[in-house]
């Protein structure tokens, strides 16, 4: 094979490897941005910061909660979350089971404990799990687009 062809073959391989590494780094950074959004949502809830929690929703958000009717639209979902947060809804011990993204959509599956905190009594923590669908925004950030959760049965 001629030296010029060898050079082109080697250059092609090097560029392909470099491109693959760059895509992997970009994906890792994107997943970290998504993970940060997930944690920010929980921080807002546990700080009882209704405005910060609501700011994490897309305008078209849908909430499908355990034992409740489906609620759609940022204003309606914000009303439900506002009532829950103001009533003492808190979470802890989130365990992300899966966090994946493909293009401008991502999903998160998480288990957690939750309670309705009241100052005059001991918290009773319950187990639940949820799936969130996140949607990438034009600025590269992520907002919650679909919220589905269920409580686990009480321990026997």
Can you give the pLDDT of all 156 residues of the chain as single tens digits?
565 565 555 646 545 555 544 444 577 888 899 999 998 988 887 788 888 988 999 999 999 888 888 999 999 988 887 777 777 777 778 888 889 999 999 989 888 877 777 777 776 777 788 889 999 999 999 999 999 888 877 766
The CA distances from residue 89 to 85, 147, 152, in Å, are 5, 16, 16
> What is the structure's pLDDT at 1?
53
- Residue 88 has a pLDDT of 72
Residue 149 contacts residue 123 (beta carbons within 8 Å): no
pTM score: 0.75
Helix (H, G, I), strand (E, B) or coil at 140: coil
**HSE, side-chain direction, 13 A CA sphere, residue 23:** 7
Residue 144 confidence (pLDDT) = 94
Give the number of other Cβ atoms within 10 Å of residue 22's Cβ. Answer: 10
Comparing CA positions, the residue from 56, 55, 62, 90 lying closest to residue 76 is: 62
Which pLDDT score, from 0 to 100, does residue 11 have? 46
> Could you tell me the CA-to-CA distances from 23 to 9, 17, 27, 131 in Å, in that order?
21, 10, 6, 26
Q: Which domains does the chain have, with CATH numbers?
A: 3-151 (3.10.450.50)
Per-residue pLDDT, 42: 86
* 72 vs 126: CA distance, rounded Å: 26
Mean pLDDT of the chain: 80
């Amino acid at each position: 094979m001629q030296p010029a062809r060898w050079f082109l073959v080697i250059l092609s391989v090097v560029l392909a490897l470099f491109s693959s590494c760059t895509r992997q780094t970009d994906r890792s950074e994107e997943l970290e941005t998504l993970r940060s959004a997930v944690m920010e949502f929980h921080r807002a809830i546990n700080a009882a910061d209704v405005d910060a929690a609501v700011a994490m929703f897309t305008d078209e958000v849908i909430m499908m909660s355990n034992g409740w009717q489906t609620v759609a639209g940022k204003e309606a979902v914000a009303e439900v979350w506002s009532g829950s947060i103001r009533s003492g809804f808190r979470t802890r011990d989130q365990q992300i089971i899966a966090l994946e993204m493909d293009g401008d959509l991502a999903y998160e599956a998480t288990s957690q404990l939750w309670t309705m905190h009241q100052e005059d009594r001991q918290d009773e923590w319950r187990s639940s799990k949820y799936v969130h669908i996140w949607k990438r925004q034009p600025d590269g950030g992520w907002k919650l687009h679909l919220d589905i959760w269920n409580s686990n049965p009480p321990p026997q």
